[in-house]
Amino acid sequence: MTKASPPGRPPKTEQRLSKQMILQAALPIVQSKGVYALSFRILADQLGVTPMAVTYHAGSKKRLLSDLVELAFAGVLDGVDGGTPVKRARGIMATYYGYALKNANLLRAILDDVTLMSADLINVAVELKASTDHLENSDGGDVLVHVLIDYAHGFVLSASSGEDNPLTIDGFLRGIDWILGQAVGDRSAV
């Protein structure tokens, strides 16, 4: 049971509450327990403030989730090297997989409400399309991009579905290599 807060303003503390503090407290909860385990009351208890203070800084739960998606996937493409279009596409997918697996519960939230999508996530698809458009068997549209991203989502959701799951990044990349090999018409090109 939660200890009731006294009426009125919360006492001044040495550290002022901020949206960043709330996000840093909320992200591990969502990553480990899921979106439905997150509440303003739980965050307030963890931060030593009132739920109203959390609401004031975080806004609605949807706003909080949107901000968490932005935080969790910020810079997802930083460090992805160029190289051939196949190597770049593979690098994008490997990096995205790492972020998505760590944040599988946020990915589930995005699949429930696509308006939670962040600019960095949209950029994954944009950059992936830029790479796949240069492949021999590219459709010139978005089909290959959708196949790659859907494959990543399916793999992440499967890999994060249980504690003793045998799915690994190596298995994921074998599938990516096969898909990209088909797109270039030469499996050994990957």
Q: What integer pLDDT is reported at residue 109 of this predicted model?
A: 95
- Residue 112: exposure state from Cβ atoms within 10 A (0-12, 13-18, ≥19): exposed
Q: What integer pLDDT is reported at residue 113 of this predicted model?
A: 95
pLDDT along the chain (190 residues), means of 10: 56 72 96 94 95 94 96 94 90 94 94 94 94 79 89 90 80 91 70
Q: What integer pLDDT is reported at residue 176 of this predicted model?
A: 92
CATH numeric code, 19-71: 1.10.10.60
Going from N- to C-terminal start, the domains of the chain cover 19-71, 73-189
Q: What integer pLDDT is reported at residue 167 of this predicted model?
A: 82
119 HSE (CA, 13 A, CB side): 1
d(CA 183, CA 30): 36
Q: What integer pLDDT is reported at residue 67 of this predicted model?
A: 97
Compute the radius of gyration of the chain from its Cα atoms: 20
Q: What integer pLDDT is reported at residue 5 of this predicted model?
A: 55
Helices 85-102 and 104-112 sit at what angle, rounded to 10 degrees? 90
- pTM summary value: 0.83
d(CA 27, CA 38): 9
Q: Which residue has the tokens 């990957």?
A: 190
